[in-house]
Structure 1
């Protein structure tokens, strides 16, 4: 058999890892380089890991949902620990009109009341009387999924080089795939950064089985359960390119929202706070483009885990023809 093409993939965030694994599975000899000291050094590490195509339809173009429907199956086939318990969307009593607005813009949900909320999330049932349940969605822990993809790449014969921004010295490649996010702005001029913010809490007094989106007219947030009583609390999006530390206001809003969801979070330990810039095009839809011998996979916005399998397949089709 003829050996596959030699491919350099630059950037080991979710886009780079998924693309590298997809190419290796199709027979390419892949070298993946990452300028940081580990995989997921950028925004991918801070992500919620929600696989929620129907919820994202609330303010995303239709193609985002269309091309992300197979993502849950792809992730289940490639990494351990993917949960398929659906998503829950609710709001405090004063903001229940937001649930109606969210329902008008989405589909594939069940509108449920307090009794059904109690069945799905016993810790929340007595506090909320109305919610939307999206049973076909799921979530994963990026901090387990990304290293698992790296192991998958190596098992397929690929190489992973950390603390390496570019090609190894003295090695040539047939093609390059650039997945470096905002570092590619010199070539991809229309990219912008969208700030993501997160707080990681440890709380023994609250149990959740699925991601919960708390609607608010100004800043909607989400809470994603992880192992060992950890909860990731994040803001859906902040239109800012400020990559600095989290502000007092942002921290207060995220913590207040967690407390509104359940008072037990008042006793939670704050394990980590962080921010990241998500690379985004003007229409917030990712693209796979090609310039000479380089294929660019970029503009993931907040859809990195949802759309990376589809985008990686496009990149592979460009390379293999």
Structure 2
């Protein structure tokens, strides 16, 4: 089949990768200048694969998509020609002394929502430090088994490269104004296909009621800290996560602000997130900030993801803050319409 894809973010690249490998003739349209331009939200995200932890702000559908994606990511990584950094050693939740009430409510909620075998497992701080010796500040700890993370920048680059090797063609600097069954419009010109996919995120307006939600993230260079798992601090006001990456890097995030402002990171977010991260891992006091980034997460009014399929056209949107967690399963679901 001849396939057109609007959008070259995470979802668009996964679609191009899967469809080109399956033998389809794939063309991708995106307003970015080239494959390395970091406009899409997938570049900025930390890449947490934490379905249980995300139950705090998601529903059972997102959880199910996350579990399926946990199975799919190693399969995808094995099909790429790079050693994609995918970690599956669990994640850790922490709380400071004095924050027990808020932490207990969160843990009780996750325990009720999580299926058997996925519940938060309480640990002593001594046990937690056996897993992550750099954690020194908190008083309480819980393990979420099976969770993990991946390196988002590596994955974005590798997916585009693998799709290209499989025959996908990329039309950079080409916005898509609208889509219809079997066609998309770019620069006023109609491009006909057997099937089109809308993966434009916030760019899908006005055809979908999508909005952008601002997120702010820091990348630190922290030699010697050597974290292995995603860490979250349960705090009533300053929730923060830390995600390790190769090259002695740690990603710290993330704010969630109902705004489509793409300006640089605010002073308030800088102080709140980095102070909370430092309280969790004091050694980060000597880390260097190598990147402070902002982007817009695409969200629908109910903050839930959506796949809409009709003959000749499929729309995927609303991944919100769960993009890397659920995208492979959403793409798998979207491709069922072609079977």
Q: Is there any run of 5+ residues in structure 2 with no aligned partner, and where?
A: 78-83, 177-183
Q: Give 1:173's match in structure 2, choosing from 174, 193, 199.
A: 193
- The 8 Å contact of residues 32 and 160 in structure 1, kept in 2 or not, is answered as yes
Match 2:172 to one of 156, 162, 165: 162
1:141 maps to what in 2? 151
Contact 1:53 1:68 (C-alpha < 8 Å) held by counterparts: yes
Work out the CA distance in 2 between the residues paired with 1:236 and 1:253.
Answer: 9
Distance 1:95 1:208 in 2: 24
Normalising by structure 2, we get a TM-score of 0.87
Give the match for residue 35 of structure 2: 38
Equivalences for residues 61-76 of structure 1 within 5 A: 61-76=59-74
Q: Following TM superposition, by how much is the alpha carbon of 1:53 offset from its aligned partner in structure 2, in angstroms? A: 0.8
Which residue of structure 1 aligns with residue 97 of structure 2?
A: 93
Counterpart pick for 1:23 among 2, 19, 24: 19
> Which of 185, 190, 203 is the aligned partner of 2:205?
185
1:30 positional shift: 1.2
1:285 equivalenced with 2:289 (yes/no): no
- Of residues 7, 10, 15, the one that matches 1:14 is 10
Asked if the contact 1:49/1:139 (under 8 Å) is kept, the reply is yes
SS of equivalent to 2:87: coil
Secondary structure, counterpart of 1:297 in structure 2: strand
Q: Return 5+ residue gaps in structure 1 as ranges.
A: none
Rounded Cα–Cα distance in structure 1 between residues aligned with 2:138 and 2:264: 33
Q: Match of 2:88?
A: 84
Indicate yes or no: 2:196 matched with 1:195: no
Which residue matches 1:153?
A: 163
- 1:271-298 Cα distance to aligned partner (Å, 9 max, x none): 1111111110122111112467432111
Q: Give the ranges of 4+ consecutive aligned residues of structure 1 lying more than 4 Å apart after TM superposition.
A: 166-171
* Residue 112 in structure 1 maps to residue 123 in structure 2: yes
Q: Confirm or deny: 8 A CA contact 2:238 2:273 kept in the other structure.
A: no
Superposition RMSD in Å: 2.0
* 1:212 alignment partner in structure 2: 231
SS in 2 for 1:31: strand
Instruction: Note if 1:296 corresponds to 2:315.
Output: yes
Distance 1:161 1:98 in 2: 49
Query: What do the CA deviations read for 1:160-216 (whole angstroms, capped 9, x no partner)?
Result: 33333347878632121111111111110x212211110111112422111101122
Deviation at 1:26, TM superposition (A): 3.6
